[in-house]
């Protein structure tokens, strides 16, 4: 079944006072304020944090990774070995590269001198036919029981992967040149898809690599979903490039056959 999994940060069937307040006031407990996701077709925020897609629970909002600073604490331990004297900066811009989602900077005690830093990037998934997901949210907000109903939206995971892969190459090259680390925070649903589509290998955790993946999933407990770190991987830009440039080439014969079929059916013709 395809339907929302978390709305305004709570599972659909959570009837607690906290959940009702969050829904009524459109609050996001991950950012500590009103949800800031928008849709043109509703006059309140698009408060779907994650969805149910078959047996998977894909996260579709990057704010979902902000739960209790779990991901930042785990990265601090991996990058610096400590949480002490570490500051978090959001959206740090770099010319010709764009903006880093976050930078964790470790400074000397009682000083602004930087000892070390690392970059953190969030990668959530996205949906197709999102209008159907908006309809699911409308039904929920109208009090309809949509726990038993499936909505015709899908996952846009391949597009998510294509866009993020280019960012991994661009930003990863900078990190390797600087000999600093970049951590990609994503869900195992997206990571496994990326690994399969690009036939990625040699991803075992390696402290000598500069590109790292912290892979999470949602674990249900006490009628809440919580982030759980399920795996860590590492890679190099050379490895990513090798996978990117060694994709299997489709058969030209099959493509020509499709063109011939279109000629026979006169599909897609526009020249006079």
**pLDDT tens-digit readout, 104-125:** 999 999 889 999 999 999 999 9
* Whether 113 and 170 share a structural domain: yes
Calculate what percentage of the chain has a pLDDT beyond 70. Answer: 96
With contact defined as beta carbons under 8 Å apart, do 190 and 231 qualify? Answer: no
Quickly state the pLDDT bin for 272 (edges 50, 70, 90): low
* Whether 97 and 177 share a structural domain: yes
* Whether 204 and 89 share a structural domain: yes
* Whether 100 and 166 share a structural domain: yes
* Whether 43 and 66 share a structural domain: no
Least confident of 70-79, 147-156, 226-235, 239-248: 239-248
| Pairwise CA distance, residues 192 & 105, whole Å | 30
Q: What is the pLDDT of residue 202?
A: 84
| Pairwise CA distance, residues 15 & 13, whole Å | 6
* Whether 96 and 229 share a structural domain: yes
Choose the final residue of a domain: 114, 139, 155.
Answer: 155
* Whether 47 and 69 share a structural domain: no
Count other Cβ atoms within 10 Å, centred on residue 129: 14
Q: What is the pLDDT of residue 160?
A: 94
* Whether 249 and 148 share a structural domain: no
Domain with 132, as residue range(s), is: 1-61+126-155
Cross-strand bridge partners of residue 106: 86, 116
Which are the contacts of 128, defined by CB distance < 8 A and separation ≥ 6? 153, 154, 155, 156
* Whether 11 and 53 share a structural domain: yes
Q: What is the pLDDT of residue 65?
A: 98
Q: What is the pLDDT of residue 269?
A: 58
Pairing of strands 48-53, 2-7: antiparallel
DSSP 33-59: EE-----TT-SS---EEEEEETTB--B
Q: What is the pLDDT of residue 178?
A: 95
* Whether 135 and 29 share a structural domain: yes
Least confident of 33-37, 194-198, 204-208, 210-214: 204-208
* Whether 103 and 238 share a structural domain: yes
Q: What is the pTM of this model?
A: 0.90
Please give the distance of CA 200 from its chain centroid, rounded to a whole number. Answer: 18
| Pairwise CA distance, residues 122 & 214, whole Å | 10
* Closest among 209, 195, 152, 183 to 73, alpha carbons compared: 183
Q: How many domains are contained in the chain? A: 2
* Whether 8 and 117 share a structural domain: no
């Amino acid at each position: 079944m395809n339907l929302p999994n978390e709305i305004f940060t709570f599972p659909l069937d959570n009837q607690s006072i906290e959940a009702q307040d969050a829904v009524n006031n459109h609050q996001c407990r991950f950012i500590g304020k009103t949800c800031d996701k928008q849709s043109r077709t509703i006059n309140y925020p698009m408060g779907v944090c994650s969805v149910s897609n078959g047996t998977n629970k894909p996260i579709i909002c990057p704010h979902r990774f902000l739960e209790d600073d779990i991901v930042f604490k785990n990265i601090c331990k991996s990058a610096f070995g400590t949480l002490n004297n570490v500051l978090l900066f959001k959206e740090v811009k770099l010319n010709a590269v764009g903006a880093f989602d976050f930078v964790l900077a470790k400074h000397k005690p009682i000083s602004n001198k930087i000892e070390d830093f690392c970059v953190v990037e969030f990668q959530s998934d996205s949906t197709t036919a999102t209008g159907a997901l908006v309809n699911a949210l409308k039904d929920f907000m109208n009090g309809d029981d949509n726990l038993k109903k499936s909505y015709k939206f899908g996952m846009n995971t391949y597009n998510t992967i294509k866009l993020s892969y280019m960012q991994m190459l661009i930003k990863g090259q900078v990190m390797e040149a600087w000999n600093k680390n970049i951590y990609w925070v994503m869900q195992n649903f997206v990571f496994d898809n990326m690994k399969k589509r690009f036939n990625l290998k040699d991803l075992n955790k390696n402290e000598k690599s500069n590109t790292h993946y912290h892979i999470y999933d949602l674990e249900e407990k006490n009628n809440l979903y919580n982030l759980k770190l399920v795996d860590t991987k590492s890679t190099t830009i050379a490895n990513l490039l090798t996978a990117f440039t060694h994709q299997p080439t489709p058969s030209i014969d099959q493509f020509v056959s499709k063109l011939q079929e279109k000629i026979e059916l006169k599909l897609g013709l526009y020249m006079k």
